[in-house]
Structure 1
Amino acid sequence: MKVYTTQPFQVIYSLFEHEYLGYLFESFVVQVNSKKQLTLQHQNISSKNADEFASRLDKTDYKLIVLIDEIQQDAVFKKFAVKKSTLSEFFFKTYDPLKGDKALQENISHYIQVRMAKILELLKGKYTFIMGKDGEPTWKRIHVAEERATVLFHFRRNDDNTHYFPTIKYQGEKLEFQYQNAVLVCMEPAWLLLNDNLYSFEKQVDGKKLQPFLNKKFIMVPRNVEESYYRKFVAPLVEQFDVHAKGFEIKTERYAPQPQLQFSELPLSEPSPALFATNSREAEEEPELRAPSDADKIVFKLHFNYGDFTVGAQESKKISVNVEKTPDSYVFHRLHRDLDQEKFFLKELASRGLEIRNGKAVLDKPNAFGWLNNYAKALEELGFTLLQNQSEKNYFIGETSVTVGINETNDWFDIYGTVRFGPYEIPFIKLRNHILTKQREYKLPNGQIAIIPEEWFTQYLELFAFSEGDDELKLRKHHLSLVSDLQNGNLASVTMSRKLEKLREFETVEDKPLPAGFKGELRPYQKAGYNWLHFVQEFHFGGCLADDMGLGKTVQTLAMLQHRKENGAQSASLLVMPTSLIYNWLAEAQKFTPQLRILTYTGTYRNKTVSQFKHYDLVLTSYGIVRLDHEILKRYMFDYVILDESQAIKNPNSNTSNSIRELNSKHRLILTGTPVENSTLDLWSQMSFINPGLLGTQNFFKKEFLRPIEKLKDEHKTKRLHALIKPFILRRHKSQVATELPEKIEHVTYCKMTEEQEHAYEETKSYYRNKILKNIEEHGAAKSQFMLLQGLMKLRQIANHPRMADPTYEAESGKLGEVLRLTKTVVNEGHKVLIFSQFVKHLDIVRAALDERKITYAYLDGSTKDRQAQVERFQKDPNLPVFLISLKAGGVGLNLTAADYVFILDPWWNPAVEAQAVDRAHRIGQQNTVFTYKFITKNSVEEKILALQSKKLQLVTELISTDEAVIKSLTKEDIESLLS
């Protein structure tokens, strides 16, 4: 029946018993008559229609309605039914007496009980009724008791058994509840309906403890199960409730807590903590197997001793009970704990960095013993007892220190030192393998295990990694910065010569005069580079001149070589380079240092004898020749071995790298604009050539630098690597010498795909997107890199011109149209342009289009034989306006200052590669502003790559940026973005 809101009405709550779910409430609104009496006209109220009756509802009513909605059978069905079934099928199967789901029944019961408890707490002052059997919601009114009742549990131990029963009092008067048709409408905690009143209890009682006594006077416990019953059932009752006992004693105990901190290796699985132990033997735990992954962790457990009793700190109960069996009875020791004092001890531990939670704390072994060594004495003064599990290793706890000294000798730094663990003194070198292998445990002469402090693994790792010698530790002079760091960090006392002290404190490099035989001038920054080459030479360090392309590394090196000639160099220097650069070096040497006697050691018919070198100042050769003739070349002691484009030895395990390292010389120098091309390991290979041992062994470098920098993006390791190599690398960017160069202007030109091109692109993108993302879901991003590269390559090709991916494609490309339009404009205005692409196929398409339009061009890719001739044609011929170049073939050794426009047709991850292309034109000798146009196909993967470039290339801004590292670092979200 509908209740009208225009007339008086009342919200009421009606208690009923559900066939399966037990006692529940339902909410109703009931029409009120003119005499303010409830009528039979009523309707259900729920969250869905409550707002209709808002005029008579308060905040409590809204809360009650929501809770009551949640316990109705429909709500329970929706929450717990997993398989498709009807409501009746679900309840019938779940509550079947023989085959019912007991676990699900318990889950549902708990869900109901939690909400029933909240409902009952909110019902005070509300109209509450028992529902009639005909569904009438206002059949019988009941009331929620104003105060809470109390329960007293009685135990009477007789000769043969123990009687157990509860008594209930309300407002000091005993309630007769047995055999009175009382019911427990809620069990968790108990709510008792008795004589139309709902009673709750001061100490929340589990209804199961009262249920048996609704229709029973007492429970009898036979003597043969008495002890088990007392320990498992009676003791928790004594702990939580008021208990009256006859026939056994309940004894109250009060002591001051004494803290006990026990430490042991973290076990594989920890037992449930014993609430109480009467002596230390019971408190000890059985030794257990440790999980391998937890082998380096220590668990601290905090207990409190109260007299002869021990209680775990994880227990927060005010009272703890232990059962003692006497010859003729039992004593229940009811221990009152001093929780405030226990909290004081917990705070004392926390203030020293040990947070005890649930009675324990887990620390890494080094941190744990570092903490113990720091605070053991102070804790004992506070009253703590420190205990070690004697079934395990006997660990050393005490004062630990290390003293390290470093002395400079003629060619080395000698390292000595002593480590102290309490009374034991250990030679510093004994810790070498422990530090390098991160083995934290060191066995002392008395058999105890000392834990090496964690900070030593960081502070002395490089010292041990870079040092040489088996019986004595020695460092090479080029590790001066490491020695300085140790001294500055008070980690070592250092003694060194005044010359080396002066080097360590230098602020400026000494100015050196240019050699008389040098023809030409050096710009200020080039002169600074020339001075720096002398600086590293004077201290017998290897150097890396890593200026940006076009800044004149060649001329600075030639000036230094001329100085060596004029100052009595006793032997020739060897300059190794890619074959294509030998002509450039010869031409530059003839121009700037014509007095240098130069031998070109190349060609099939070269004279393979080192005796001829004495007649020359400089020997020019290629990496390929060194690889072939290294057995011959290593017989000669060169003045300098210089590597141009030294990234050629980036693979440290290649034959070329091994052959180069076998060469002998007084000095070593490398020249490169890109010290790192593919991996941080490129840097290790080149720095290990100029300064052997500077960065440790290859395995050490991979573990301590390459992986943290490239995989983990570890900024600290990045900075540390820079600090180690900084003294030996001189790198200037064009931005630093901008006043020396004409202006460079960059543009991004967006190209719209043609309709046919867009169709081809979307079709391919959809195919690869589904394939790649599915592969990532199944195998992870790491195992999807090849497929990702394959898909990206296909999409990049189509973004340029679909014919690159499909030779049968006959329609146009939006990018090609834009490139040809701008090329025609540039040529018509009398300018020259370099057009770079990473794809030879792309250059072929542009080439055919230029032929069709009768625009002449020079051409260079990896297969071009007359490389230098193509360069000279373009530089000298005013009627040759275009130079098509593959990015890989044109990346090094080209001087193309005749061009003042640079077109980059396809972007890729590494901006440094694109910068090299621009540097072909924007270098010393260029008189005009250089305009760079980067062509990006709109709504394609190229646009996404452009956006990701700045976000992803942050491995090491100055020296390290790798395509491979970027691909590996792409997240699933990045990949989805690229393919969206």
Structure 2
Amino acid sequence: MEQLIVIISEKRNLGMTLIPFFAEASENSILQLVEPATEDHIEKDRFSFSPAQEEIVKLLSAISEQSLFKRFSRQKNLKLFFEKLESKFADDHIRPLMDSKITQALDIIALADVPVFYKNPNYSHLYESDRIKVRTLFDAPHFSFDLDDNGLRYTLKIKTEKGEMGLTNRDVLEITATPCTFLINNQLFRFQHIDSKKFRPFLKVNHLLIQPRSVDAYMHSFVENCVRDYHVEVKGFFINNKSAALKPILILQPDLSHAPVLTLKFKYDEREYMAGTKSKVFVNHRKMMGHHIFDRFERDIEKEQHIVQILNQLGLAAISESQYRPRAVDKELPTLPHVIEWLNTHAEALHREGIMLDQQDYDEHYYAGKVSLSMRYIEENDWFDIQAVINIDGQQIPFQRIRQHILRGRREYRLPNGEIFIIPEEWFTRYTDLMHFAKEEGDKLSINKIHYKLLDEEQLQEESPVWQAQVAALQQQTIQSASPEGLAATLRPYQLEGFTWMRTLNTNAFGGILADDMGLGKTIQTIALLLNEYTKADTSAQKNGLEQLNLFDTVKGFNNTTLPASLIVMPTSLIHNWANEIARFAPALKIYLYTGNNRAKSKDIGKILKHYHIVLTSYGIARNDIEYLKHYNFHYTILDESQNIKNPGSKIYQAVSEIQTQHKLVLTGTPIENALVDLWAQMNFVNKGLLGKLNFFKNHFAGPIEKKQDEAKEQKLRLLISPFILRRTKEMVAKELPPVSEQTLVCDMTEEQQKFYEREKSGIRNELLKAIEQTGVNKNAILALQGLTRLRQIANHPALVDDKYEGSSGKYEQIFEKLSSAISENHKVLIFSSFVKDLELIERDLKKKGLKYAKLTGATTERQKEIKRFTDNEECRVFLISLKAGGVGLNLVEADYVFVLNPWWNPAAEAQAINRAHRIGQTKNVFVYKFISGDTIEEKIARLQERKAALADTFITTNNPLKDLSEDALRELFA
């Protein structure tokens, strides 16, 4: 019976090798070699190989003569290759491969107990009794060193269970050199960490003698390595097994590409070792009073691993076993400031772990310790004094000393001791705007209260709780005021909220922009504010709001405090409307119409205006009469339709800016018509300096937001203006508005989608027109309908017709933009489509975004479960519904947004879908968005629908929806 054995044999020019063989044993215990075992045998399954045997054959096949020839030879045949093989090439290139494969094979042979035999070239037979012993355990070398005046004598033997075994005058076969394997008396001696070169001298001599002149150098190199790696026995010098505390060190240095890295080293006693060094023992050689001493230290592997884990937890990423960098941000390599900032941030944690820092190879020395910033706000009338101090290693540095660094984006600040302090990147994000608006006087910083949103809210609450409580109402959290007495109207809840907001601005001497949508009652809210400001006494003498007071009467405010008149500037067409509204809702307020003959004739305009509560005029008159108007100090100056001053270079803007007034307010439904500069002009009028000077605003906010879509700048601008602008849209006050609002959104296709659509349209059109020419329109209505449906699907998303399409869809991008906006504002959305696969694509992207949803199609088995998921779960804000499955029979008043993904040509079908949300029980305004892809068949059908109303019925009421269309209409549809 055949068995697999391994033969040790010598090959010309290569040395000893191992060859797997099939062998058969005869009756007299003689082994007959059948043939070498190869990988072909494994593939053909001629022999039932165990996994271990398979691996042995594969390893040794890699170093067969044929394999080595294929890998290393440039000769034409194998014989020529080995004849011309040079020994140096074999030693340098071929032998290392052979040693590696043989070593791996012997490891498996020892564990699997595969028979191994040496094939002596002088004998033709192999006997079972000649089997070589291969132990699973590795053998150990034993060095003996003896130092005296004659030099250093040393020997190298093999340590065995029975004692030491020398190699001198023995028959030794070297099987591998690195690591070393010997065959001695039918036994393999295998070593892990020593090569055969160290043994070779002792095959001929019992010991070696190093001359006295060479001893020091030999001790410092060879002997030190032996003491570190092997068991040694010494005389004439000393080996001390010592314990030394581990001291981890992080070294800041540039790598070969000049990028900063942190190199981790471990220091034991006086020696430093790179992290990742394999040896578990360190040795220090020293000479004291003529004696050689070797201090031997065991590494603290567990603590070293702990240090590596700590660095990983603190945010370092390993780029090798010894080099680290802070984890990359946006896939970019960290810069030197990033690395220093990491060191500053984690200085305390590194200190706790005993990790020391060293800096090498940089011209400057960087501060790499703990950094903290303490900040306080002291309320001073209209200002906050900012007391900010940077604490650096016991030094206290006023924050304003780095103000210019913050403003100019310079991160390096030189400390008094010469070190470079890297300003944390977060400080630039948090304090750049604060530094722009703060005023600096010496070591003192202060900021106007209108910029309080730039201050830390919690800190502000702690330092100025009374003032913070006053401005809390600006966040529009609660309604605190009742309607003013004497107002002949009942303010709706959101109007009462606006009235409260304006009163809060007034209390804190802030101006504001009331930017409610058209029709939400900006006028009545403003009238309520003014009525609240002026006295309610003496109303019995007033007949109506248009009555002029006696010139000697005065207007009294609350607590009998005389208040000047308030000026309202507006387009000419609105003056009488304002007068009538004031007369209607606040008849106690006295009005002066500053128009026509009632305009001032001198600068002493106060003699007239002091007898009135409200002065109404137009923008044109205010511009022309500013030389008179600017000499009166109004209580309020209010601009209606304030977009009229959107151009800060206009004469009207300059004119109203000259008006003297205690309070300012502007009213507009469109605070931004063209650009952000529109907002700057109006906000600068009501709160001068809030957004900085115009050039600063353009460079710092308008440019980055409008040209670069800088989200951080947009967020900062919103933060600055949010307390001073109040805008409610129709969606926000749905109870006051018509219940349904519909909008058709025409979506541009993506470039890839456009190409796909045009290619498909061309093919469909050519096929359809060719068929129509042959058999007519009526007989090809189904073909036309199929083509129409395919193009409608592509207009939605090409993936509906091609599973391999990986591009995007313009319609889908706009759908998700609207969907994200609706969800972020806590709305619930119904999404209808006539294509189930359409909903599946939406579902895929919802899953990617982690958004919860419900889904209802013809395949849904647990219909009520899906409905309940949407209606009862507050977090489930999207319901995907196919037209057939959800067009009727659903009550989904929890939703207030309806998305129609593809146009349905029967208006009744769309109405049914919309009615799922708009029905009895709905308390919110319902908004319907219909999505149509531009320049597609969807848009063409919509246009055709306007000219031919019957087209909508055509798609629904017949099996051949296109049969009544003319050939010209079809050509136009697919053009």
TM-score interval, normalised by the smaller of the two chains? 0.5 to 0.7
Conserved 8 A contact 2:253-2:362: no
1:617 and 2:616 equivalent? yes
2 CA distance for matches of 1:705 and 1:189?
70
Q: Secondary structure at the match of 2:253?
A: coil
User: Does structure 1 retain, via aligned residues, the 8 Å contact 2:151–2:209?
Assistant: yes
SS in 2 for 1:368: helix
**Aligned counterpart for 1:322 among listed residues 277, 284, 295:** 284
Instruction: Confirm whether residue 152 of structure 1 aligns to residue 148 of structure 2.
Output: no
Alignment equivalent of 1:470, drawn from 441, 444, 458? 441
Kept after mapping to 1: 8 A contact 2:240/2:293? no
State how far apart, in whole Å, the 1-side matches of 2:523 and 2:748 are.
41
Aligned pair partner of 1:432 in 394, 398, 403: 403
Residue aligning to 1:268: 254
Note if contact 1:180-1:214 (Cα within 8 Å) is conserved in structure 2.
yes
What is the SS of the residue equivalent to 2:439?
coil
Equivalent pair of 1:262/1:386 in contact (CA under 8 Å): yes
Preserved CA contact (<8 Å) 2:32 2:126:
no
How many residues align structurally?
Answer: 719
Give the aligned residue type for 1:408.
E
Aligned equivalent of 2:910? none
Aligned AA (1:335): R
Aligned to 2:509: 540
Aligned counterpart in structure 2 of residue 728 of structure 1, from 705, 714, 724: 724
SS in 2 for 1:237: helix
Report the residue type matching 1:532 in the other structure. W
Instruction: Single out whichever of 757-766 and 420-429 deviates more from structure 2.
Output: 757-766
Give 2:459's aligned residue.
487
The equivalent residue for 2:808 is none
1:635-670 CA-partner distances (Å, limit 9, x unpaired): 999954759696996xx9x96899779944652547
Kindly state the Cα deviation for residue 422 of structure 1 after the two structures are TM-superposed.
Answer: 6.7
Q: Determine which structure has greater relative contact order: mean sequence separation of CA pairs < 8 Å that are 6+ residues apart, divided by chain length.
A: 1
Asked whether the equivalents of residues 231 and 323 of structure 1 are also in contact (C-alpha less than 8 Å), the reply is: yes
Could you list the per-position Cα deviations for residues 553-606 of structure 1 after superposition, in whole angstroms to 9, with x for gaps in the alignment? Answer: 76568757986998977565556xxxxxx79978986996799999999xxxxx
Q: In structure 2, what is the equivalent of residue 207 of structure 1?
A: 196
Q: What does residue range 224-263 of structure 1 map to in structure 2 within 5 Å?
A: 226-245=215-234, 248-249=236-237, 251-258=238-245, 260=247
Tell me, what secondary structure is at the counterpart of 1:331? strand
Give the match's secondary structure for 2:478: coil
What one-letter code is carried by the residue in structure 2 that aligns with 1:257? A
In 1, distance between residues paired with 2:306 and 2:681?
Answer: 56
TM-superposed CA distance for 1:480, in Å, is 3.3
Summarize deviations over 1:753-797 as a string: whole Å, max 9, x none: 9xxx9888239999xxxxxxxxxxxxxxxxxxxxxxxxxxxx99x
Native 8 Å contact 1:642 1:670 kept in 2: yes
Q: Is the CA contact (8 Å cut-off) linking 1:573 and 1:617 kept in structure 2?
A: yes
Decide whether the 8 Å contact of 2:240 with 2:294 is kept in 1.
yes
What's 2:664 paired with?
667
Which amino acid in structure 1 is aligned with residue 448 of structure 2? R
Tell me, yes or no, if structure 1 residue 410 matches structure 2 residue 396: no
Note the residue ranges of structure 1 that are not aligned, 5 or more in a row.
1-7, 271-289, 576-581, 602-606, 767-794, 801-814, 816-900, 907-926, 943-980
Deviation at 1:633, TM superposition (A): 12
Amino acid at match of 2:196: G
Aligned to 1:196: 186
- Offset at 1:331? 0.8
Aligned position for 1:837:
none
Structure 2 counterpart SS, 1:188: coil
How far the C-alpha of 1:239 sits from its partner, in A, is 1.1
User: In 1, are the aligned partners of 2:739 and 2:926 still within 8 Å (CA)?
Assistant: yes
TM-fit CA distance, 1:485: 1.4
Matched residue type, 2:133: H
Equivalent residue for 1:508? 478
Instruction: Give, as a single letter, the amino acid of the residue that structure 1 aligns with 2:5.
Output: I
Asked whether the 8 Å contact 1:20–1:95 carries over to 2, the reply is: no
- 1:822-878 deviations in whole A, cap 9, x for unaligned? xxxxxxxxxxxxxxxxxxxxxxxxxxxxxxxxxxxxxxxxxxxxxxxxxxxxxxxxx
Q: State the Cα distance separating 1:683 from its structure 2 match.
A: 7.7
Structure 1 residues 254 and 527, CA, compared in 2 at 3 Å: closer, same or farther?
A: same
Deviation at 1:541, TM superposition (A): 2.8
CA contact (8 A) 1:47 1:69 kept: no
Correspondence 1:732-743 to 2 at 5 A: 732-740=728-736, 741-743=738-740
Report the AA paired with residue 57 of structure 1.
F
CA separation in 2, counterparts of 1:522 and 1:708?
37
1:617 match: secondary structure: strand
For residues 47-86 of structure 1, the aligned pairs below 5 Å read: 49=42, 52=45, 56-71=48-63
SS in 2 for 1:267: strand
Shift in CA distance, 76/41, structure 1 to aligned 2, threshold 3 Å:
closer
Distance 1:131 1:737, change over 3 A: farther
Query: Conserved in 2, the CA contact under 8 Å of 1:149 and 1:171?
Result: no
- 1: CA distance between counterparts of 2:217 and 2:926? 96
Letter in 2 for 1:168: I
Q: Which amino acid aligns with 1:60?
A: A
Rounded to whole Å, the distance in 2 between the matches of 1:751 and 1:418 is: 54
Residues 513/437 of structure 1: CA separation in 2 closer, same or farther (3 Å cut): same
Tell me: CA distance 1:701–1:187, structure 2 relative to 1, closer, same or farther (3 Å): farther
Q: 1:126: how far off?
A: 0.5
- 1:179-578 residue pairs with structure 2 within 5 A? 180=170, 182-201=172-191, 204-211=193-200, 213-214=202-203, 226-245=215-234, 248-249=236-237, 251-258=238-245, 260=247, 266-269=252-255, 294=260, 302-305=266-269, 309-312=270-273, 314=275, 317-325=279-287, 331-337=292-298, 339=300, 364-369=339-344, 371-372=346-347, 404-416=375-387, 426-433=397-404, 463-471=434-442, 472-483=444-455, 485-487=457-459, 493-494=463-464, 500=470, 507-511=477-481, 513=483, 524-526=493-495, 528-529=497-498, 531-545=500-514, 547=516, 552=520, 570=565, 572-573=567-568
Structure 2 counterparts to residues 593-742 of structure 1, below 5 A: 617-620=616-619, 640=637, 642=639, 663-664=657-658, 666-667=663-664, 669=666, 671=668, 691=687, 694=690, 723-740=719-736, 741-742=738-739
Distance 1:459 1:162, change over 3 A: same
The answer for the alignment partner of 1:790 in structure 2 is none
In structure 1, how many angstroms separate the alpha carbons of the residues matched to 2:573 and 2:122?
107
Change beyond 3 A, Cα 1:711–1:611: same
Identity %: 21
Task: Measure, in 1, the Cα distance between the counterparts of 2:746 and 2:503.
Answer: 46
What amino acid sits opposite 1:58 in the alignment?
Answer: S
* 1:9 equivalent in structure 2: 2
Could you list the per-position Cα deviations for residues 526-558 of structure 1 after superposition, in whole angstroms to 9, with x for gaps in the alignment?
5544553454344333434455x6664765687
- SS of equivalent to 1:540: coil
Aligned to 1:170: 160
* Structure 1 residue 122: Cα displacement: 1.1
CA contact (8 A) 1:407 1:495 kept: no
The Cα of 1:412 is off from its aligned counterpart by 1.7
Deviation, 1:935, is 1.7
- Aligned mates of 1:663, 1:69 — CA distance in 2: 93
Q: 2:132 is matched with which residue: 142, 145, 160?
A: 142
Counterpart contact for 1:529–1:556, Cα < 8 Å? no
- SS of the residue 1:726 aligns to: helix
Amino acid at match of 1:540: A
Query: C-alpha separation between the residues in 1 aligned to 2:19 and 2:655?
Result: 89
Kindly indicate whether residue 115 of structure 2 is the aligned counterpart of residue 127 of structure 1.
yes
Conserved in 2, the CA contact under 8 Å of 1:396 and 1:448? yes
Tell me how far 1:52 sits from its aligned partner: 2.3
The equivalent residue for 1:116 is 102
Q: Closer, same or farther in 2 for the Cα pair 1:256/1:688, shift >3 Å?
A: farther
| One-letter amino acid of the counterpart of residue 476, structure 1 | N
Match of 2:34 among 20, 31, 41: 41
The 8 Å contact of residues 241 and 296 in structure 2, kept in 1 or not, is answered as yes
Question: How far has the Cα of 1:236 moved from its partner?
Answer: 0.8
Q: Is the alpha carbon distance of 1:562 and 1:440 closer, same or farther for their aligned partners in structure 2, counting shifts above 3 Å? A: closer
Q: For residues 529 and 348 of structure 1, what CA distance do their matches in structure 2 show? A: 56
For 2:680 and 2:196, locate their aligned partners in 1 and report how far apart those are by CA, in whole Å: 73
- Cα distance, 1:144 vs structure 2: 1.2
Larger Rg: 2
Cα distance between partner residues in 2 of 1:712 and 1:86: 66
SS in structure 2 at match of 1:185: strand
For 1:189, what is the secondary structure of its paired residue? coil
